[in-house]
Structure 1
């Protein structure tokens, strides 16, 4: 029996986004929870991922409001380091202002750093030195944690190598991590992690 969908998670997609970084989150939510997964691009047009997949989004940014979303996922990609994808900022602002979740991994954490979202909240990224080098305006180093993934308040951040931990923190944030079917499926991935490295 399919689970009725009562909440919505949007994944922001753009040209060259890292398609593997949300690859566990999306099927986990779609298959086992009440969270519907949708994709959104700036203009609603198809994009090509770093893995050369063509993805047709469900909608465009102009058609989405924070009222439609319970969680916004920002996958990595080279555009973030170049200061790209700023079109997403108004939606991120509204999400956080209304206590909605924003989850960023790899390069997307650079966007959060560049825009000042990480100055007073615990977070992580690929490396603190990397963060400082590509976001010179970043002032959140005292809140930086050397962990694969961090959930604090309504922000989730993760290193680009931590797609499993990223998914886990999202499941915890959405309060679905104890869903028995999801747990059974996700444990196959958790079991591939060395215990000492899993969440520390």
Structure 2
């Protein structure tokens, strides 16, 4: 059984690769005088609604501001039929204004029309700002050449091979992989995708993050008291 399909053992497994420094952009809600860091979520037609939800919810709960970035500022419609009006256009997005760029999957990655988001990811990584890509966004980054020298994962190796990229020897069979400032995950692992994002930004203490993952990825009820206690402590800090 590969790691990707090993649901019985996933709770104690971290993603592969170098997770980078902890806490560079982290901030907690309820701390007087601390500005809320901003995370940017890319939105576009046919966006896979379920993929970024765990990550954005926990980021917002823990003091981050989530702003949406579209191809332009016209409304987009997700795969689930939700209408989203982007806060800004991708051409306006600057790495220095962000703590992280999240790139969900979408059917439109296959058409090449989302290439500006891949180019933006290149600028983010060159500036030392993390990028997290899942599902169809991963082949999009492969076409941009961003996976050639970084460990990564995806839905399956052949999905990336079809892009003609040069990083096949860096593919890892795992639920999610972090290498330097790039996080990748396949479409069936939104919890692991969130785990790597929360770890990279040091949003939750390691023991709470481990419990959070076991609760949501594996329905491990024994993890609930740890997650609930952390939520209560967060509420007290914000009061």
More deviation, 61-70/108-117: 61-70
1:117 aligns with 2:146: yes
RMSD: 2.1
Q: Is the 8 A contact 1:30 1:36 kept in 2?
A: yes
Q: Does 1:71 align with 2:71?
A: no
Q: How big is each residue's C-alpha offset from its partner over 1:116-161, in whole Å with a ceiling of 9 and x where there is no partner?
A: 100111000000012212x1x2111100001010011000000000
More strand by share: 1
**Count, aligned residues:** 190
Alignment of 1:1-200 (within 5 A): 2-3=29-30, 5-31=35-61, 33-133=62-162, 135=163, 137-178=164-205, 187-192=214-219
TM-score for both structures, normalised by structure 2: 0.73
Whole-angstrom CA distance in 2 between matches of 1:124 and 1:180: 25
Structure number with larger C-alpha Rg: 2
TM-score (norm 1): 0.87
Considering Cα pairs closer than 8 Å and 6+ residues apart, tell me whether 1 or 2 has the greater RCO: 2
Query: What SS is found at the alignment partner of 1:21?
Result: coil
Q: 1:94 Cα shift? A: 1.6
Give CA-to-partner distance per residue, 1:160-187, whole Å, 9 cap, x none.
0000000000000001131888777665
Q: Structure 2: 5+ residue runs without aligned partners?
A: 1-27, 221-239
